[in-house]
Structure 1
């Protein structure tokens, strides 16, 4: 079996009439930017999402990144969780995701033992709640930073 080299994913352009797939998020600045966006907490993971800055007229599909910290477990456990979450996103396809947005799935230990159908349900619920407000905007400032009414 041969592995595909890192490079552009085999996705079609928006104008060709073919569905655009989900791309991978791989660079740290993209993860940091997504962390500043909206969050939706679930039992098995936290979904973070943010619209990315793109050039006018540039149509690119959604990008998804995965993070599993060392607190979750050793390498074997982290890799297994990451593989399960990647498969959930792959099976979901690009339709529930918004084009031009970056998503980060931050795994929790519960993702290891959760039934696969439950993980899929949590992903769809999280996406629905994140997109419910319409646009993906950064979270509001903490209460300590706001002026208090006197």
Structure 2
């Protein structure tokens, strides 16, 4: 028996299919060990977040992966989830062309991410990626 909503996603969002790879959902970090490993890599501090990045071993695949974390000091669950949603959208829109294969990235959110304009958040994200990749020759911690 078909469920309500089956087959409707393409009719509701035809532009998502037309834009292609830029809207593909990137892989996610889900295990605590993956977050801890990324924390040992390079860091780039921005006003709205800190980006942590580390190259994975070759056996773990090539696609870049992203993780998001916002501490309880930032606010209640509604605020933390809103910040994570903003981060997921930035990554969904801009990570496909700028993130490097074989890298794990973690965005550690700050309260400023809630009130910053989306363009500011996008600029900070792209700047952090650029700075982390330009320092790639330096060893991890």
Calculate the TM-score normalised by the size of structure 2. Answer: 0.79
Contact 1:21 1:93 in 2 (8 A): no
Structure-to-structure mapping, 1:111-122, within 5 angstroms? 111-122=113-124
Are the counterparts in 2 of residues 46 and 107 from structure 1 also a CA contact under 8 Å? yes
Matches within 5 A, 1:1-150: 1=5, 22-55=26-59, 59-135=61-137, 137-139=139-141
User: CA separation in 1, counterparts of 2:48 and 2:42?
Assistant: 17
Unaligned runs of 5+ in 1: 3-17, 140-150
Indicate conservation of the 8 Å contact 1:34/1:48, yes or no: yes
> Which structure shows the bigger proportion of residues in helix conformation?
2
- Superposed displacement of residue 22, structure 1: 2.1
Instruction: Please give the root-mean-square deviation of Cα atoms over the aligned residues, in Å.
Output: 2.0
Question: Secondary structure of 1:50's match?
Answer: strand
Partner of 2:106: helix, strand, or coil?
strand
**Cα distance, 1:95 vs structure 2:** 1.4
Deviation per CA, 1:83-126: give whole Å up to 9, x if none.
Answer: 01110110103211010000000000000000000000000000
Q: 1:33, 1:50 within 8 Å by CA — same for their partners in 2? A: yes
Residue correspondences, number: 122
Q: Which residue of 1 aligns with 2:16?
A: none
SS in 2 for 1:71: helix
Instruction: Give distance in 1, aligned partners of 2:104 and 2:131.
Output: 16
